A and B are shown apart, each in its own frame.
Chain A
Amino acid sequence: MANYTEWNQALISYFLKGVPRGSKIYLSVDDDVLDRMGQGFFLTLSGSDNWSDDFQEAIRKDVIIDKQVNLNRIQGRDENDNPNCVAFLGACVLAAYRMANEEKISQLNYFKRLREILHLSGSLRPQGMKSGKEAEEHLWKTWNYWLWEQGFQPSAYPGRGPQKYINYPISQCLLRQADKDKLQVLFAAKQWTVSWDAQTLLTQIRREPLSHHLQELVMENKQRTEIVAEVIHEVYQQWQVQGSPATPNKVGRTWSRNLFAGLYRVEDPFFGQVDYYLYPKQQRGRQLESVQVEYENRTQTLSEERPGWYLPIGNPLKVDDLEQGLRCSVVSPPELDQLILPARDFWLLIPDAENPDSGVYASWGTPALGTAFILLCKRELLNDIYRLRDERLLEWSGEPEPIAENSNWVELTQCLVTSQAYDGVFMDNQTLKDALQPRVRLSISFSGGLRVPNQRGWLAGHCPQVTVFGFAPRVELEVSNLLNEQVIVTRSQKMNQPLSLDLPGTGLYLVRATYGKESAERLVRILDWNSLELSQPERREFMNIGDKYSICGSIILPIT
């Protein structure tokens, strides 16, 4: 049996491994997730019927003392600086899932479920958790703060009134079991057996009649729909792995057997030559030691480029590769079958959020409001795209440039979604419309200042400018110190206008923009000059001296 500490570590790894920095993190623990984690991290089950039982047993052993909850042992951080509370919070989310699957959302129902997990009778707040503020809220704040520190965005937030504290775990629930079942029924009815990527699948699903809860999940706030799209995609792949059954299975218990790839775009700065590379994406939450794929007639080992992504591989892609997609066999591990570049009609490529001046664009995600991106698409989409420009919804610079002579694929650069009024505009390609249509009204962007990419912050005295992009005239802006929650700036700010941040010193600052019921948050880290650390360059430049030697700074080396 795995103990509390092991489950705690496994949860952190599962929810953060393979996840790009800057992503919103949902601690969406349910029975399926626990099963998959158990198989992935601990391999063999002993003493319990299933991994969920094993997890619950581990929680009880650590937090139940004398038949009451004692959270003292899970305060603070462990020797690896990870928060100790994650497994317990996971148990709270499990309770919220079970409630959402079967009952109405209420304090009573939530605590009944939590008590069941903790083997405590009754249905009110358990002994030892009498003060929500001091018990679980404190732990949620610890988790949120730690996520910010690691470069992720937390997603757990309190509710109002009596649901204030139970909203933290409720806010982490994504797909319920009933939703997964309904999705499988839909996949089977539609016989969706092709290998769509997450975005394409989501567009297909949005066209279908859905239950109220699923409809809300796939249509609401885009920051959440991205993760929902990923989770639905996992269900889709697992359903395919199981042979596309006509009736719903417990799909969450297996891992997907395929890796997906995006595009990585580099441009020669002088001659303007553009090349695209195959850019394999990591599987969320999965520990894969060494992945080797057969590509371009040789075995290539995938190595991590950054959280969520492997290094681009192979030679520049050909137009045919874009047109038809690619499938490469995975040589190892045996749990994987293929690396797939989906055949799509278009790709949205955004600049590197961690190093926007690198000149590299890739399929890292959907463009945030106000972020200029590259649209790579088939020519047949141009009518739709021109329509968007006519209707003042999309702008770009220059003319569509073919990516190769006589190519059916063209690039539009410096694209910007300028308005959110997409609803009334008809487009032939619904997937493109879905991808471009903003589903948030606010986005915070930092620019200028002196950024240290490797330490994910800006240097003191050279803070960035903050711009809130969106579709309202003004926005309420608040900047606070994340550690002590002291508010430093609060003002009404004109939308789409940069504002210089004057922060009092080093530390973590939370920038929050609010308009109506919608808000956006981003963290800015201010570093002290003395905290700068030397960074090993990803690539060292050398200048050749004759044909025998080269030099880098003062280092002369023979050319080998």
Chain B
Amino acid sequence: MTNVQRWYAGFRYRGNVKQLVDKISEKVLEHDLSEFVPLVRIEKGAKPKGFYFFIAVETVQPGDLPESVQSYLMPLPFFKSPIKGKPSFSYDEIKPMVGAAHDVHDYTNPIPYKIVESDRNDDPFQIIPTSTEQKIPDIEAISQRYQQLLYWLSATGNGTWELFKKACQALEIETPGRILRRLKLLGHIESSVDGRRWSAAPTSLVQIESQSETEKFILCGQQTGHLLSILEQYAQVNVIHHSRGHAPDGLQIQLTDSTQINPIIEQVKTSLGLSIQNRGNVANQLAEILPELKEWTLRLRSLPGIVPSLYHWKRFESDDFTECVFSQQTGLYQMWDLDGGDRSRLTLFYDAATNSWRQGDWYGLRFLALQHREQPCIARYDRVKARLAIPYSQRWPQLYERALVLASGQLPNYQKTEQSLWLIYENVGRELVQQLTQKLQVTWEEDEVTTNA
């Protein structure tokens, strides 16, 4: 094997730099000389009245120009004045003159280098409340994309937040942070405490309160179109669109008798090899075991080692974040890099009592901030229709809201009144309301009668 070496031939030229580069490039490409002359380097700050330039040459013997380079390149006027007394240079010898990043013209068709921006600043808990009054033109078409997302998540099993976002992007679903939250509320997936990983939840049937003679179950967790078709063979399956279509359709299984559920589970196991779990009334179970707000706060992920002086801070005041100087006051904060950027690094709750930074779902942290400001948190309950209304601006922490959503398998509807926007949860039993509002220190009203938690 011959040992080819890269060396540089140096020249001085007086004239137009661009013209020199264009002409040399033209010749190199025309005669396919890039194998011998991979690049040209021009002196830093080259001026038309005179500058040095160097061609890289690859040959066995430094100083020996290949015949084709002699024939096609050297006759060009730019090469009339070679640097005298030194037929070849090493890169180290010319480096101070040409610099690594200065004018280099590469003839080897290099692969373009693109830096992939790290998304380390991307906070999966970050949800910016937006107008909820959008008109949805075609709910079915939209919800189909969410359905596809759920099927894809079920087939993929688990992954990173990055992967989740890419899937949303491929399906043209915006605001992946919101859809992640909705899927968690519906019991379809779970994410890690730091929000960086997710996994699909096991397939389960969750019983919900029924106002009629029939027994009702909702399907949660991993699912495919095939599973749906099998269920449809053995039971009445009601497909429920969420009010704005921004979630996979809910699947409600209606039975005349709860004893019918086990044979259906058996049929699915036989046909698909899938074990569906019958989990009973999860909404009530969850409400039972959820901690009081204070305890929940203490169990939020604590982020140690944050040095406040290394960041800019914005504090949540009334309904927005405003610039502040961090003075160890309890509250909800946005952490921004000192050099700015177009989005905050993290949204965190600072608890002065424990001098700790807490990470959690965005609405949950906001709820904490409201409670800490002693802003009254309220709810209204319609006992006849079993509906609970919560102000949109006081949305509950995700786990508590999950109990409400799993009571019906439906995301809340939005109801606008003159003063505010409300979230309306369906099929919520009175006992469930009592338990949850008590734990969250929410004052609720029922049929015009005020009840204090």
Residues of A that sit less than 8 Å from B by CB: 206, 215, 219, 269-270, 272, 355, 357-359, 369-370, 372, 387, 389-392, 395, 397, 414, 416-421, 423-426, 448-450, 452-455, 459, 462, 469-473, 495-496, 529-530, 532-546, 548-549, 551-556
Query: B289 on the interface (CB 8 Å rule)?
Result: yes
CA distance A420 to B226 in the complex (A): 49
B300 → A minimal CB distance (Å): 11
Q: Which of A215, A270, A536, A544 contacts B299 (CB 8 A)?
A: A544
A539 / chain B contacts, CB cutoff of 8 Å? 158, 197, 199
Q: Identify B5's interface contact among A387, A424, A471, A553, CB under 8 A.
A: A424
Are B108 and A471 within 8 A (Cβ)? Answer: yes
- A269→B201 contact, CB < 8 A: no
| Inter-subunit contact A532/B170 (CB<8 Å) | no
Q: Which residues of B contact A454 (CB under 8 A)?
A: 155-157
A530 to B148, CA, bound (A): 10
Do the beta carbons of B204 and A555 come within 8 Å of each other? Answer: yes
Contact A545 B225 (CB under 8 A): no
Q: Is B151 an interface residue (CB 8 A)?
A: yes
20 A-B residue pairs with CB within 8 Å = A357-B163, A391-B6, A391-B91, A419-B111, A421-B34, A455-B155, A470-B111, A471-B109, A534-B203, A534-B272, A537-B157, A537-B199, A540-B199, A546-B289, A553-B184, A553-B220, A554-B204, A554-B221, A555-B202, A555-B221
Chain B 286-313, CB-CB to A under 8 Å as 1, else 0, gives: 1001110001000100000000000000
Interchain CB contact under 8 A, A450 and B110? no
Chain A hits for B223, CB < 8 A = 534
Chain A nearest Cβ from B441, distance in angstroms? 17
Q: B240 interface residue, CB < 8 Å from A?
A: no
> B residues near A, CB below 8 A?
1, 4-7, 34, 38-39, 56, 58-59, 91, 95, 100, 104, 106, 108-113, 115-116, 120, 148, 151-152, 154-163, 166-167, 170-171, 184, 187-194, 196-204, 206, 220-227, 272, 274, 277, 279, 282, 285-286, 289-291, 295, 299, 399, 402, 406
- Asked if B108 and A421 sit within 8 Å, CB to CB, the answer is yes
* Across-interface contacts of A473 in B (CB, < 8 A): 109
The smallest beta-carbon distance between A431 and chain B, in angstroms, is 16
Besides A423-B4, A423-B6, A454-B156, 10 other A-B contacts (C-beta < 8 A) = A270-B194, A357-B166, A358-B159, A471-B109, A539-B197, A541-B192, A543-B190, A546-B290, A546-B299, A552-B190
Q: A532 with B154: in contact, given A369-B111, A462-B170, A556-B282 (CB under 8 Å)?
A: yes
For the A-B complex, the count of residue pairs with Cβ-Cβ distances under 8 Å equals: 217
- B290 x A423 contact (CB < 8 A): no
Specify which chain B residues have a CB less than 8 angstroms from the CB of A358 in the assembled complex. 159-160, 163
Interchain residue pairs A-B with the least CB separation, the first 5 = A553-B201, A424-B6, A424-B58, A554-B187, A535-B157
Task: Provide the residues of chain B in CB contact with A372, threshold 8 Å.
Answer: 116
B152 CB contact (under 8 Å) in A392, A452, A545, A553? A452
Q: Closest residue to B38 on the A side, CB-wise?
A: A421
Which among B108, B163, B286 is the interface contact of A556 at CB below 8 angstroms?
A: B286
A555 engages B154 (CB within 8 Å): no
The answer to whether residues A541 and B224 also contact, given A358-B159, A556-B289 and a CB cut-off of 8 A, is no
Which single residue of chain B is at the shortest CB-CB distance from A471? B109
User: Is the Cβ of A534 less than 8 Å from the Cβ of B199?
Assistant: no
A462–B149 Cα distance when bound, in Å, is 12
Contact partners of A554 in chain B: CB under 8 A: 187, 201, 204, 206, 220-221, 279, 282, 406
Q: B190 — which chain A residues lie within 8 A by C-beta?
A: 540-543, 551-553
Contact across chains for A269 and B120 when beta carbons are under 8 A apart? yes
Q: Report the separation of the CA atoms of residues A454 and B108 in the bound assembly, to the nearest whole angstrom.
A: 38
Bound together, the chains give a CA A529 to CA B151 distance in angstroms of 8
Q: Is the CB of A423 within 8 A of B58?
A: yes
Say whether chain B's binding surface is mostly helix, strand, loop, or mixed.
mixed
Within the complex, the shortest CB–CB distance from A390 to chain B, in Å, comes to 5
Contact indicator A553/B170 (Cβ below 8 Å): no
Given the interface pairs A535-B155, A543-B193, the reply to whether A553 lies near B188 with Cβ below 8 Å is yes
Report Cα–Cα, A536/B7, bound state, in Å: 57
Q: By the criterion CB–CB under 8 Å, are A392 and B110 in contact?
A: yes
On chain B, the residues within 8 Å of A421 by CB distance are: 6, 34, 38, 58, 108
The residue in chain A whose Cβ has the minimal distance to the Cβ of B273 is: A534
A390-B100, A392-B110, A473-B109 known; A414 and B289 CB under 8 Å?
A: no
Report if A552-B289 is in contact (Cβ < 8 Å); known contacts: A426-B5, A532-B225, A537-B158.
no
Q: Return B381 CB to nearest CB of chain A, in Å.
A: 23
**B200 — which chain A residues lie within 8 A by C-beta?**
535, 537, 553
Report B-chain residues with C-beta under 8 Å of the C-beta of A544: 299
Residue of B nearest to A272 (CB): B120
CA distance A272 to B285 in the complex (A): 38
| Pair A270/B120 contact, Cβ less than 8 Å | yes
In the complex where A391-B91, A419-B106, A535-B157 touch, is A269 in contact with B225 (Cβ < 8 A)? no
Q: How far is A88 from B110 in the complex, measured between Cα atoms in Å?
A: 45
Taking the nearest CB of chain B, how far is it from the CB of A118, in angstroms?
Answer: 41
Q: Which residues of A contact B272 (CB under 8 A)?
A: 534
Check if B6 sits within 8 Å of A425, measured CB to CB.
yes
CB-based contact A495/B109 at 8 Å: yes
Contact A534 B154 (CB under 8 A): yes
Smallest CB separation, A385 vs chain B (Å): 13
Q: Is the beta-carbon distance between B170 and A448 smaller than 8 angstroms?
A: yes
Residues of A within 8 A of B295 (CB): 546
Q: Is the CB of A545 within 8 A of B199?
A: no
B152 to A387, Cβ gap below 8 A? no
Taken together as a complex, chains A and B put the C-alpha atoms of A453 and B153 apart, in Å, by: 11
Contact A469 B202 (CB under 8 A): no
A219, A391, A555: the one contacting B1 at CB < 8 Å is A219
Given contacts A534-B203, A542-B190, A553-B190, contact A529 B148 (CB under 8 A): yes
Contact assessment for A530 and B199 in the assembled complex, using a CB-CB cutoff below 8 Å:
no
Shortest CB distance B419–A (Å): 34
Q: Which of B191, B193, B199 has the most CB of A within 10 A?
A: B199
Q: Within the assembled complex, what's the spacing in Å between the Cα atoms of A551 and B192?
A: 11
| Cβ contact within 8 Å between A450 and B155 | no
Which residues of the partner chain B approach A538 to less than 8 Å between Cβ atoms?
157-158
Contact, CB under 8 Å: A370 / B158: no
B155 and A532 contacting across the interface, CB-CB below 8 Å: yes
Q: How far is the CA of A166 from the CA of B194 in the complex (A)?
A: 59
